[in-house]
Structure 1
């Protein structure tokens, strides 16, 4: 199977606190061998990236065999509702809570409240906001995700190409998507200087809104060389627009929604850049389990599980991997165990997260 991983084999450790070293979040004490009550509070049940993280979290809980996992999210992105779910988890999940949010600034007080009760917390996908004591962040390099998509894009465009490249951003202002755009545009500007970047345009994040936004963007820019998205739903909407209009164009995106994987397979997307969300959910929960079982505090720093490019060379294998929760777990098991056993290869200081 041809898989290109940009980080898993290359990330090296700087000076960083490892497991057993001091952490701002609670969790040290006696070893705990009985039932654990953990929480994973994530942004929404309606979009693939967040579903993937939840699958990984559930797999880690199931692998331990003695974990009650409260995996909860709003139906649709709703920061205030997610805050309520987190506060409920403070009561129901005293052994640790992992948080994935698209509005991390809303969680300063809730994260502090969890720490006040000596509940360990881990930030997933987006780092915890300043003012909290959550010192472990499990998330990929989004700059790398964008760079990977850019490197795939330039393979499809001649060096002397001219014209517009249209870029969409599903959630303007969300730092992690802006990092992807920075990585993507840096490659295009350097390697294909004759192209003009237009956007990023607001492409919306919910499925229907995203389709409508991209439909308008494509109509407004009918002769673009390519349309590139940095969110999960873009890889669904752009192929659908091609199918419904009969207009063929070069398109690529991030994340691995099932419909987007099929689009890579049939050629209506040239590639996807995957942040490997499942691994983030698994690693976050497994690290909390490990800390509780061993009576240690959580490690501190930025844990980067890696980036994967999905293209015509490996898409069939990734579709098999993504068939169901069992196939995901079977594929990721050895990789996840390797990461957990070798924290020094995946941890960097928090201030290096990009």
Structure 2
């Protein structure tokens, strides 16, 4: 039986019966969060006999998340996974949730020290920045001289800052003639993000590339690249269908953070923990990213056509990680 509760523009979806786990997210209306949520819900459902609840504000409202965490805790006493852009602001309620006996996992964004969360599931964002830099370099001629404009949709968010750091470290190595400008605040809201990039593209008429860190950046830069009357390279992180198709045009670089896998690992671990089959490990589980190319973009588009195909594609990756956790765990302090 399914129950949907309105929470001031948010949703709280309850499925099945006790025992119960839950996933609190930021940006529920965004594509990458839907991917995480699908991964989480699908894996918990596959485990059988475990209730799962997913909740989150439409766009990263941390104050709203704090209230929703209390509501979610009442529904999901056996385990909660949390994705927030502001771990420091949620640290106290997350610590209180853990102190009440409910294990808490951080997903996508590393936990703040004050949260007392011992397990984080997320990308090596610095390495992803390097990956994207290599792809951008492959699209720019070796003798390129010019400006690369950087934008970030959530300034100050550790995960996105690490992507910028990786880009800054690697891109001048592969293309020494470029100068990096920014990052500028491009906003998380899709409409505000588009307006930000329109202004940045208009104000930097000779830039050789425009690069964003978030889901909205990837989609909107791909749209603007398709409308452009002059040549420049667009680049971002995500799995948006417009961005995936743009890669095939030869002037767009993309790295997928694979958020479905992150949600699936969190869901599997929590379901198995609730069923008494394991104790949650401590540390950082780095999750793989995919460099999108003209060769693999069609297969990724096909995979994204259904939850079933996403789950089938993710299963091998998830199984490898959860079966050999000791080989994949890294110290939480190394998370980046």
| TM-score, normalized by the shorter chain, greater than 0.5 | yes
Partner SS for 2:275: helix
Q: CA deviation at 1:82?
A: 1.1
- Give the number of aligned pairs: 320
Match of 1:260 among 243, 246, 257: 243
Find out whether 1:290 has 2:272 as its counterpart. Answer: yes
The 5 Å alignment of 1:121-132 reads 121-132=104-115
* CA offset digits 1:28-68 (Å, max 9, x no partner): xxxxxx94200100002221111111011011111112121
The Cα RMSD (Å) is: 1.5
1-structure distance, mates of 2:149, 2:327: 36
1-structure distance, mates of 2:287, 2:226: 34
Partner SS for 1:209: helix
**Structure 2 CA distance for partners of 1:244 and 1:296, relative to 1, 3 Å:** closer
Match of 1:312 among 283, 288, 294: 294
User: Which piece of structure 1 moves more, 282-291 or 117-126?
Assistant: 282-291
Corresponding residue of 1:46: 29
Q: CA deviation at 1:73?
A: 0.8
Find out whether 1:352 has 2:331 as its counterpart. Answer: no
Corresponding residue of 1:325: 307
User: Which piece of structure 1 moves more, 91-100 or 166-175?
Assistant: 166-175
Contact residue 258 and residue 288 of structure 2 kept, 8 A: yes
Contact residue 163 and residue 224 of structure 1 kept, 8 A: yes
Give unpaired runs (5+ residues) of structure 2: 1-16
Corresponding residue of 2:318: 336
Corresponding residue of 2:211: 228
2-structure distance, mates of 1:176, 1:334: 25
2-structure distance, mates of 1:295, 1:55: 23
Find out whether 1:113 has 2:92 as its counterpart. Answer: no
* CA offset digits 1:257-302 (Å, max 9, x no partner): 1221122234452x21111111111101111111222364310000
The 5 Å alignment of 1:39-78 reads 39-78=22-61
Find out whether 1:133 has 2:116 as its counterpart. Answer: yes
1-structure distance, mates of 2:277, 2:45: 20
More strand by proportion, 1 or 2?
2
Give unpaired runs (5+ residues) of structure 1: 1-33
Corresponding residue of 1:82: 65
Tell me: higher relative CO, structure 1 or 2? Use CA pairs within 8 A at least 6 residues apart.
1
Contact residue 109 and residue 122 of structure 2 kept, 8 A: yes
Contact residue 59 and residue 188 of structure 2 kept, 8 A: no
Contact residue 60 and residue 84 of structure 2 kept, 8 A: no
Find out whether 1:155 has 2:117 as its counterpart. Answer: no
2-structure distance, mates of 1:189, 1:183: 11
**Structure 2 CA distance for partners of 1:205 and 1:96, relative to 1, 3 Å:** same
**Structure 2 CA distance for partners of 1:245 and 1:295, relative to 1, 3 Å:** closer
Corresponding residue of 2:10: none
* CA offset digits 1:136-178 (Å, max 9, x no partner): 0001100011110001111122332211111111111111111
Find out whether 1:95 has 2:70 as its counterpart. Answer: no
Contact residue 124 and residue 281 of structure 1 kept, 8 A: yes
1-structure distance, mates of 2:80, 2:118: 13
**Structure 2 CA distance for partners of 1:158 and 1:246, relative to 1, 3 Å:** closer
